[in-house]
Structure 1
Amino acid sequence: MFYETATGHGLPHDPSKAIVSPRPVGWISTVSASGALNLAPYSFFNMFESDPFLVWFSSSGEKDSATFARETGEFVVNIAGRDLVSKMVASSVDAPRGVSEFGYADLTPEPSRLVKPPRVREALAALECKVTDIMTPKTWSGAECDAVVVSGEVIGVFIDDSVLTDGMFDVVKAGNVARLGYFDYLTVDKVFQMRRPRWKAD
C-alpha cells in the first residue's frame, strides 16, 4: 500500500509510531518553580550529539514536563529497565497539575547532584540536564505544529554499578525499554556487534 499523509491511511490505527520504532524512552523528571514534582515517559526522545552530550524530548502540547523545564531550566532523563516498565507506564497517568507521579507510581525521588529535579532512585541510569533550547517545529508550509521540543545538555551522569560490565554500560543487564507502535514495548535482551567499514583508497 501507499498513502499520502494529507489524505490518510485508511487503516484501523495510525502506523507512524510503529514504522518509526523502536524508540528509546526518556523518563523525564522535572520540578516547577514552586517545587512541584513531575515524572513522565516520552518516546519522542533521543540524543543528537555526544560531545557536548545533548539530548531532547518532545511533548505533544506544553505538558508539565515542558512547562517545568521552561520554568527552572533543568530536567533529568531517567532510563527505565525491564523491572520498571509497569511503574514507568503508571507515571504516564493524566494526573492534575501539582500531583506527583513519583507517589502515584510508588517511586522514590532521589536528589540529583547538579540539578534541582530529582532522579528516580530505582532507575539504573540518569542524565542530569540543563535546558539549551525550547522550540516549536514547523510543517513544510511554515505552520507551527503542536509539538514542544525541549533540548538540554547533559552535565551529570548517574550509572548504577550493577549494570557496568568491563567498564561499559551493559544494556542487556539494564534491559533498556523502547517504545514500539500502538500499545507495544520491548526491552533489550540481545546485542550483536558490527564494525563500521572504513574506506580504503587504492
Structure 2
Amino acid sequence: MRTEIDPADPDVNFYRMLTAVVVPRPIAWVSTVSTDGVPNLAPHSFYSVACARPPIVLFTSVGKKDTLRNVRETGEFVVNLASAPLIHEVNDSSARFSSAASEAEELGIAMEPSVKVTPRRVAASPVSIECRLHSTTELGDSTLVLGDVVLMTVADHVLVDGHPEYDLLDPLARLGKDEWALHAEVLAIPRPRRPEDIPPEHRR
C-alpha cells in the first residue's frame, strides 16, 4: 500500500512533504554583501554541484531573499561549509533579520576576509567556496543561482594527505520539519567501473 500525494492538492503542504523525503540535504551557508556594504549570512538547503569542469555550484533561493538580491547586484558570494559545531549559528542565521542588519554581527559569528571576492567568509567554517555569479533562473516561487567557483579555501586541520576528510569536516545536513542530520556514519564501498566489477553476491 502507498499513500498518493498530489502536489496540486490545495490541502497538501507539498513543500513540507518534498523536504521530508529529499534527504539528507547539504547546506550552502551563503555570505554576501549588499551594494550598501551590509553583510548577509543565510543557510540554503537546496544546494549542490552543477558542473565539474569548469567548477560551478548551485543553490536555490526560495522566495526573494537578501542573499538573492545581493548576488544579483554584486555578482559575488561565498558558500561556507556548515559544520556540526556551528549548528546553532547556522540555524539562527535563518531568522528573518532586517535587510539593514548583519546576521553575523547580530549573532556574534566571526568573519574574515575572503581572497578573491568581497563577501567575507565564516572564520570557523572549515571550507569556503568563493564564487562569482554565473547565472540565475526563475522557477516558480524560487530562483536557481549558479556560481563559478574562483577559489576554495580549506582549513589545514580537516585535511589528511592533502584531501578533505569527511569525519573532520563533520558537515550538517537538513532533513524534514526541524530535523538535522549530525555526525553521519561513513561507509566506503569501491565503485564498479564495469559490470564485471560487481561482486557476484550482489547480483540477485
**TM-score normalised by L of structure 1:** 0.90
Deviation for aligned residue 1:44: 0.9
Give the equivalent residue in structure 2 for 1:197: 192
Deviation string 1:117-170 (CA, Å, 9 cap, x unpaired) is 000011110100000001102xxxxxxx11011110111001011111122211
Partner of residue 175 from structure 2, selected from 173, 176, 180: 180
Letter in 1 for 2:64: E
Judge conservation of contact 1:88–1:105 (CA < 8 Å) in 2.
no
Unpaired stretches in structure 2, ≥5 consecutive residues: 197-204
Identity %: 34
Q: Contact 1:91–1:104 (CA<8 Å) still a contact in 2?
A: no
User: What is the CA–CA distance in structure 2 between the aligned matches of 1:4 and 1:63, rounded to whole Å?
Assistant: 28
1:200, 1:36 → 2: CA distance?
Answer: 54
Q: Which residue of 2 aligns with 1:37?
A: 39
Q: How many residues of Structure 1 are paired with residues of Structure 2 in the alignment?
A: 194
1:187, distance to aligned residue in structure 2 (A) = 2.3
Give the C-alpha shift of residue 199 in structure 1: 2.5
Aligned counterpart, 1:90? 92
Aligned-residue CA RMSD (Å): 1.9
- Contiguous gaps of at least 5 residues in structure 1: 138-144
Q: Which residue of 2 aligns with 1:141?
A: none
Deviations along 1:168-193, one digit per CA (max 9) or x if unpaired, are 21121121011001000112342111
| Matched ranges for 1:16-165 at <5 A | 16-137=18-139, 145-165=140-160
8 Å contact from structure 2 (residues 27, 172) kept in 1: yes
Comparing 162-171 with 174-183, greater Cα deviation is found at 162-171
Give the structure-2-normalised TM-score. Answer: 0.89
| CA distance, structure 2, for counterparts of residue 189 and residue 182 of structure 1 | 18
Runs (4 or more) in structure 1 with deviation over 2 Å come to 8-11, 187-190, 198-201
CA contact (8 A) 1:3 1:9 kept: no
- With 49-58 and 2-11 compared, the bigger mean Cα shift is at 2-11
Comparing 17-26 with 104-113, greater Cα deviation is found at 104-113
Residue of structure 2 equivalent to 1:140: none
Considering fraction of residues, name the structure with more helix: 2
- CA distance 1:162–1:65, shift in 2 (3 Å): same
**Structure 2 counterpart SS, 1:86:** helix
